[in-house]
Structure 1
Amino acid sequence: MNQIEIKSSKKKILLLIFGLLVFIIIEIPLIMNPERYVSTLFRNPLFIRITSIIGFVICFITLIVFVKVVLSRKLGLTINNDGIIDSSSYISKGLIKWDDIVSIKRIEVMSTKFLLIGVKNPERYVDNETNKIKKRFLQVNLKKYGTPITISSTTLEYDFEKLEKVLLNAYKEYKNG
């Protein structure tokens, strides 16, 4: 099998960074002066402040992750004889060996398409994670989808259909080879 290298899309990531900056800017006045934004829907200024702080923190952490990706020289995804080397997201697990992969399935969550990479021992991928935040995300994926490993084309130069076709063909080639 020829090695296939898929770069991270700097353009897509910069658009995501811009969107995060907009959300962060919107959150600041909600945090600083929540009384001004009390309405019939949101009557409690404390609720407005707390939810705005949570939104701000999540957006800020995500912003930092995306900035690191933009500055990184790593490939987003590499497909070779060993398996799939995933560096496409914050919770990527690196090398996923073909021997460990049992299925590749497509799902759609809130209009975002993902590939679920089913593995023989999914708990091992969760248990081996030392970063507590990443580990929690992997646990959620495992509980919800039956696997901790999900791949999307959101930050890659490939569109989803092309990514899915390339991964499925490589998987078939490995299984039949």
Structure 2
Amino acid sequence: MLEAYNENELVIHSSSKKVFVLVIAALAFVVAGGFLFWVGLTDEEESAVLMVVGIISIVFFGLCLLYLVFQLFNKKPSLIVNDEGVTDNSSAISGGLIPWQDIEEIILYDYMGQRFIGLNLYDTEAYLARQKSMTRMLMKANRGLVRATVNITQASLPYPLEEVYEVMMNKWENVHLRQP
């Protein structure tokens, strides 16, 4: 069982090792983007394409790099599962506390080789309306790609998602069994 779990609460912090590996990967893509941009400056035939791809890579992975460096020093838990609900701070588009009463379904699924815990909500639009505008926009874009409104990935968590899912399901079922 998860060592971060007691009978009332599961508190998980990001794995510093996993986040550090992601920092190195993001940095590599920023450097690769810079290289493509530089080659685009010198190559006359495909210069525009290389420069655009380079700029996109630098901007996207640069933002990822900033977020990941912030995560390395952030002491806030990535995930909290307790009697209130699930507090998700595990990604850049995390939405904070989601009460158990708002969760319609919890699923464990794979998408593009990555494992996720998905939370489908009774009222997705009300949940999105509570988010900051940038988070809301990213969540809406993400919604078309994955199977759930809220998605928790294995990427930076130090425990297997199957164990986290089991704890979440037990808490969720207890709340739903108590409701009339």
Task: Using the TM superposition, name which of 80-89 and 104-113 deviates more.
Answer: 104-113
Structure 2 residue ranges without an equivalent (≥5)? 1-6
For the residues of structure 2 that align with 1:66 and 1:75, how far apart are their CA atoms? 14
Look up the equivalent residue of 2:162 and give its one-letter code.
Answer: E
- Other-structure match for 2:16: 10
Question: Does structure 2 conserve the Cα–Cα contact (< 8 Å) formed by 1:116 and 1:147?
Answer: yes
Q: Deviations over 1:44-88 (max 9, x none)?
A: 220111011101100000111111111111011111110001111
Match of 1:31 in 2: 37
1:122 aligns with 2:159: no
Q: How does 1:2-81 map to 2 (within 5 A)?
A: 2-34=8-40, 44-81=46-83
The whole-number CA distance in structure 1 between the counterparts of 2:125 and 2:148 is 8
Q: Give 2:159's aligned residue.
A: 158
Q: CA deviation at 1:142?
A: 2.9
SS of 1:129's equivalent in the other structure is coil
Provide the TM-score with structure 2 as the length reference: 0.87
The Cα RMSD (Å) is: 1.9
Identity %: 24
For residue 164 of structure 1, what is the amino acid of its counterpart? Y
Q: Which amino acid aligns with 1:80?
A: N
Aligned to 1:138: 139
The question of whether the paired residues in 1 share the 8 Å contact of 2:39 and 2:50 is answered with: no
Task: Supply the distance in 1 between the matched residues of 2:43 and 2:36 (Cα, whole angstroms).
Answer: 7
Q: Which amino acid aligns with 2:177?
A: N
Give the alignment's TM-score, normalised by structure 1. 0.88
Aligned length: 172
Tell me the distance in 2 between the aligned counterparts of 1:13 and 1:131. 26
Query: Aligned to 1:100, which of 102, 108, 115?
Result: 102
